[in-house]
Amino acid sequence: MMKIIVTGFGRFLDNENNPTKDILKLLPKTILGNEIFPIELPVIFDECFDYLKPFIVDIDPDVIIMLGLAGGRKAITPERVAINMKDTTGPDNIGYMPVDEIIDINGKNAFFSGLPLREIEKNLKIYNIPVKISNSAGLYVCNNIMYKVLNYIDQNNLNIKAGFVHVPYSDESKPNVDVFSLPIEIIYQGVIEIIKAVL
């Protein structure tokens, strides 16, 4: 039996409703006998990992799947890579707006996702859920948490599969009718299939 941490975020910038927070509430306690631990993280560069770390230490998970909203994307997008850089034109939830800042001056330039991206793609396609592997998680808080988690796993030689997946707006969270969105049920089903692909 495996232990799987699934993280999500709440509101940030103009996004009052973050579908990843809704997903956390919908997740069952177990999937195929494996335990699921949903955790909402603060949308704060310097606090998101500090908040998550004690959970990683306590739970000792086999898998960490991090979720975030990428409004405007037209598919569920597993991220291929996290890079050692913070750069944004919009503030995090405490007003911090880094420009061209290294996340960890002693860290590697980048880390690849530890999730089985092609398996995830295959599983979602079976259910006709829009999916596309992404080659950039941006340089805002999502790339930041993905980098910090993979960096922590690398530095401590932990046997944890971890990676990040961006999701589009849900029908409820989109700012206007012109923007692409999926029903929350479909995003939820996508997340379940991602977890099954990892298992």
Residue 9 in contact with ligand PCA, rule: CB under 6 A: yes
The single residue of 16, 40, 166, 193 carrying the catalytic annotation is 166
Residue choice 36, 117, 141, 198 for contact with ligand PCA (CB under 6 A): 141
Q: Does 12 bind ligand PCA (CB under 6 A)?
A: yes
Residue 50, helix vs strand vs coil: helix
Number of Cβ within 10 Å of residue 170's Cβ equals 22
Q: What's the Rg (C-alpha) of the chain?
A: 16
- 172 is annotated as an active-site residue: no
Whether 82 and 150 have beta carbons less than 8 Å apart is answered as yes
Q: Which of 70, 117, 153, 194 binds ligand PCA (CB under 6 A)?
A: 70
For ligand PCA, what does the binding mask look like between residues 78 and 117, x meaning CB under 6 A?
----------------------------------------
DSSP state of 157: T
193 is catalytic: no
Binders of ligand PCA in range 16-45 (CB under 6 A): 18, 20, 43
End-to-end CA separation in angstroms for the chain: 10
Task: Work out the burial of residue 147: count CB atoms within 10 Å of its CB; fewer than 13 is exposed, 13-18 middle, 19 or more buried.
Answer: buried
**CB 159 → ligand PCA: shortest distance, Å?**
27
101 is a catalytic site residue: no
Sole window of 23-31, 65-73, 148-156, 175-183 interacting with ligand PCA (rule: CB under 6 A): 65-73
Residue number, nearest CB to ligand PCA: 142
Distance CA 149, CA 1 (A): 22
Containing H/E element for 9? Answer: strand 3-9
> Whole-number minimum distance, CB 78 to ligand PCA, in Å?
13
**Does residue 140 interact with ligand PCA by CB under 6 A?**
yes
Dihedral sign for Cα 38, 43, 46, 47, please.
Answer: negative
Q: Indicate which residues carry an active-site annotation.
A: 79, 142, 166
